[in-house]
Amino acid sequence: MALTCLWVTSLDQFGVLAGRLGVVGIAAALLVLTLGFACLFRPYQFLQESIGKIMLHVRSAPVENLLLASRLLLVLFCIVLLNKTPEFVYKAF
């Protein structure tokens, strides 16, 4: 349900999807998402702490620029991934 914006283009389609899944399907999807994120949180936290310790020793302008650029690219990637492509893109092909 959290990723339906990638293939559901209208509220009617969302209603059909919710109807087919039912209460049990929606609850199962939420449970799977919750468990998946909970399982991935600990490794993410460990990685973040490890990188943080390393970055305390390596704080220079190029490293800071690289970190800021990577965050910007991550935000742009998420925006492109989660937003619907305009219709004129499809008409061009």
CA 80 and chain centroid, separation: 11
Give me the tens of pLDDT residue by residue for the chain, a chain 93 residues long.
555 655 677 778 878 888 888 899 888 988 998 898 888 888 888 888 887 777 666 667 777 788 889 889 888 887 777 776 666 556 655
Domain boundaries, the chain: 10-92
Output the CA torsion sign for 38, 40, 46, 48: negative
